[in-house]
Each structure stands twice: as C-alpha cells, then as structure tokens.
Amino acid sequence: MAVSNLLTTLIERLLDLTTEGKIKWEETADENVFLASVSHNVVTIGRRRSPEDYDSWDYEIQVSDRQGRLVDETSSSDTSVTAEGGNPYVDLARLFEAARRKALDTDKVLAELISSLDSIGHSK
C-alpha cells in the first residue's frame, strides 16, 4: 500500500520546517512519541520496536483533527513505498529524530555539556 501524496507532502514539510526550527515538538508521557500542534490539528510521530526484529524500530505518524479524531496515519511497517517511490522508513525515521531533538532541546544540552567540559579543561 502506498502512502497518499498529501501525507507524503506533510511528512516532507514537517521535516523541513522542524529542521528550520519552525515546528514546536513536545514530549509526551511515552518517551518514544512526540507531538506538534499545527493549526488546531495534532501530529504525533513515534517509534516502537519492530515485532520482526527487536533490534530495529518501526516509525508511525498520526494526524488528528481539532476534535481529536484520528484522520490519517501510516507507519514504516504498513507501507512499502511512498506515492513518489520514496522509502517511508527513512522519511519517518528522519522526522522522528528531528522531532526528538527539538522536543528534548538536544543541541542546547550538548552545547552546555561542551561548555562545562571546556571550563573543566581550563581550570587545570
């Protein structure tokens, strides 16, 4: 089953805008799921261990409307190719990692650690 053109476009735009820092991703109670509110709608991106290979991940995106109804979803295990022939595993994995880094403010944490290490190094 191919991913719809609109969902493919949504994934690509979310990835681009997340990379540019224009989408605010938030943590959820599940450490492997992140959400973003966009124009009264909610997008969640998550990962779970693959039932076929526990050492790998399956990725899933869900879109809910302003009433909280699930309106579309897909996962890397449900699809083989996107409508344009892309690989949903790669697309969803990249979006998940970008969302996780933004939600956890990874760059800020790493910069603080580097600064602390520099201070330790200069105090000798």
| Whole-number Å distance between alpha carbons of 57 and 61 | 13
Task: Calculate mean pLDDT across residues 84-108.
Answer: 89
| Arithmetic mean of pLDDT over the chain | 90
The span from the CA of 102 to the CA of 119, in Å, is 26
Evaluate if residue 71 carries a pLDDT over 90.
yes
Percent of the chain residues past pLDDT 90, beyond the cut: 70
Average pLDDT of span 66-79: 89
Predicted TM-score (pTM) above 0.75:
yes
Q: Which residues contact 92 (CB under 8 A, 6 or more apart)?
A: 11, 45, 59, 60, 61, 74, 75, 76
Angle at 82 between CA 78 and CA 86, to 5 degrees: 120
Kindly tell me if the per-residue pLDDT of 83 is higher than 70.
Answer: no
